A and B are shown apart, each in its own frame.
Chain A
Amino acid sequence: MRDSPVAGLEGKRMSDPRPEDLRLVDSDVHPHFRNGLADLAPYLELSWRKRMRLDEETQAWASAVPASQYVLPKNEMYIPTPGAMRRDASAGPGEVPASDPRFVAEHLLDRHDIDRAVLIGGNVLGLSSLPNPELAAAIASAYNDWLIDVWLRADERYRGAILVPAQNPAAAAREIRRVADRPGVVGIMLPVADVLLGEACFHPVYEAAAETGLPILLHLTGTENIMSRSARFPGGTPTYYIEWHVGVPAVYQANVASLVVHGIFERFPGLRVAVVEGGVAWLLELMWRFDKDWQSLRDEVPWLKRPPSEYLRDFVKLTVQPMPEPARPEHFAQFVEMTQSQDMLMFSSDYPHWDFDNPMASLKGLPADLKRKLAVDNAVAFYGERLTRALPATAVAGGRGSRPA
């Protein structure tokens, strides 16, 4: 392996970069369909295309609304008032934001010196709310082939999280083994559902994840408490978007606690989990309360061999967007010190969503060693060589960025 100048990461293929040459890793970027689920048609069997009516001609008006018809409440649920997307993230008039791999490479990666971007979710974040587990599995498989074909081949800085159906653990485990070794795959997005993730029904998913060495990524679904299969929202159903947005991290806190107390990390010591966009500062409350409770209640869950906070530090990562912006900025580093979470936090931008974090601003002012951990080192430790090493030459088509012929 020869030394690789950082500038060489752009454009042509190169040999494996050393982790220390990486400038920035973005752990949360959302690729979108250009034409809704129709983009998945080339990756679905005929019977599923028929079932999903993707072979039928849609009327012009139908493409402009999410469900191909105006349906309440789906079109008016939780919508942030600035709009869900950065208004400048569209490649041109009428283009869906972040639906063109080449545009995203220029607009996000080039401009912010991002050497690796983990693509996750997009239009499929709410997959776990679908009542039909077979449909969810079919969509997940087609999405994974689309992600690999359209995005991971378009630019060698892209890496991807495959999608699996939480409501169909057996299919999820099969899907993990089917695509785990495709070039560019670095993780597994498991959309949270109405069952907390420590429960035994998810063991096949974790077994496949540990076996393939791929970490599990949890991400907001945007459907919390809306559909009956969605993850429950603590306390009830929020009325306003802002109410959902500030409350939803509790859903992810609860799922992380579930993984710990069920002994998932004792049963699958090779498993790693990241909470993406699920909040940061709840970690302090969870660690303090968890360790205190463990002193008194350990015998209820005797398979926990260590203070729960240690499982969190060893097995769990959190992406930091939306970056906390305390009135006194130095309080963020103090929070990290209090929780000893310096090895747990990973930079993310959430591009192209409205609450995008610009690394020039969100990481500014952090102590240099902490900044480096957030920018690169923790992501490299978490995703490993799948993140850092160059993709095989045959895998990168050079920014084709369109549907296959």
Chain B
Amino acid sequence: MRVAVGPVGDFAAGRMRIVDVGGRSVGVYNTGSELFAVLNVCPHQLAPVCEGTVTGTMLPSDPQSLDYGLENRVLRCPWHGWEFDLSTGETLFRQERRRLLTFRVSVEGGLVHLEDHLRKD
């Protein structure tokens, strides 16, 4: 299923916008160079995950050292702080197998289209 969700100009850089896709709430995020879309449901306790922050995080590092990275690629759930890779929907560093449902994003004729990975037509 492929759905147009609005003109590309409506998706401002650095902003998460929540759209309706066939009755499902989906968050579309513009990193400034790429658009990503994920289902607005956290697989852990069903939180509205897209109301969280898009940020970076501390990368795995040596003891007592900090190494910040992945800026703008990490979606952090507003409840328990689970961190997901926006581009894949997977948790970072494989803490957990449950993942976000992601959508393919494309821009055609100035419109943003989302496509469900699971259902094809």
Using C-beta atoms within 8 Å of the partner chain, give the interface range for chain B: 10 to 19
- A48 at the A/B interface (Cβ < 8 Å)? no
Q: Is A357 in contact with B45, judged by CB distance below 8 angstroms?
A: yes
Q: Is B45 in contact with A87, judged by CB distance below 8 angstroms?
A: no
Interface hit among B3-11, B47-55, B84-92, B111-119: B47-55
Partner of A361, one of B45, B77, B78: B45
- Bits for A173-209, please: 1 = Cβ < 8 Å to B, else 0: 0000000000000000000000000000000000000
A237 → B minimal CB distance (Å): 17
Q: How far is the CA of A86 from the CA of B49 in the complex (A)?
A: 11
B70 → A minimal CB distance (Å): 14
Q: How far is the CA of A364 from the CA of B36 in the complex (A)?
A: 31
Contact status of A362 and B52, CB under 8 A, knowing A88-B78, A354-B81: no
Q: Is A358 in contact with B81, judged by CB distance below 8 angstroms?
A: no
- A47 at the A/B interface (Cβ < 8 Å)? no
Q: Is B45 in contact with A86, judged by CB distance below 8 angstroms?
A: no
- A21 at the A/B interface (Cβ < 8 Å)? no
Q: Is B51 in contact with A88, judged by CB distance below 8 angstroms?
A: yes
Q: Is A88 in contact with B48, judged by CB distance below 8 angstroms?
A: yes
Chain A residues positioned under 8 Å from B46 (CB to CB): 358, 360-361
Chain A residues positioned under 8 Å from B76 (CB to CB): 82
Closest to A89 in B: B78
- B24 at the A/B interface (Cβ < 8 Å)? no
Q: Is A362 in contact with B79, judged by CB distance below 8 angstroms?
A: no
Q: Is B51 in contact with A81, judged by CB distance below 8 angstroms?
A: no
Q: How far is the CA of A83 from the CA of B46 in the complex (A)?
A: 19
Contact status of A354 and B44, CB under 8 A, knowing A87-B51, A87-B52: no
Closest to A359 in B: B45
Contact status of A358 and B52, CB under 8 A, knowing A82-B76, A87-B78: no
- A311 at the A/B interface (Cβ < 8 Å)? no
- A266 at the A/B interface (Cβ < 8 Å)? no
- A356 at the A/B interface (Cβ < 8 Å)? yes
Interface of chain A residues 343 through 395 with chain B (CB within 8 A):
354-358, 360-362
- A80 at the A/B interface (Cβ < 8 Å)? yes
Q: How far is the CA of A88 from the CA of B81 in the complex (A)?
A: 12
Q: Is B78 in contact with A358, judged by CB distance below 8 angstroms?
A: no
Q: Is B45 in contact with A358, judged by CB distance below 8 angstroms?
A: yes
Contact status of A86 and B78, CB under 8 A, knowing A358-B45, A358-B47: yes
- B80 at the A/B interface (Cβ < 8 Å)? yes
Closest to A83 in B: B81
Q: How far is the CA of A2 from the CA of B71 in the complex (A)?
A: 59
Contact status of A362 and B48, CB under 8 A, knowing A88-B78, A355-B80: no
Q: Is B45 in contact with A82, judged by CB distance below 8 angstroms?
A: no
What are 20 A-B pairs at a CB distance below 8 A? A82-B78, A82-B80, A87-B78, A88-B51, A88-B78, A88-B79, A355-B79, A355-B80, A356-B79, A356-B80, A357-B45, A358-B45, A358-B46, A358-B47, A358-B79, A360-B45, A360-B46, A361-B44, A361-B46, A362-B45
4 A-B pairs with least C-beta separation: A82-B81, A87-B78, A361-B45, A358-B45
Residues of A within 8 A of B (CB): 80-83, 86-88, 354-358, 360-362
Residues of B within 8 A of A (CB): 44-48, 51-53, 76-81
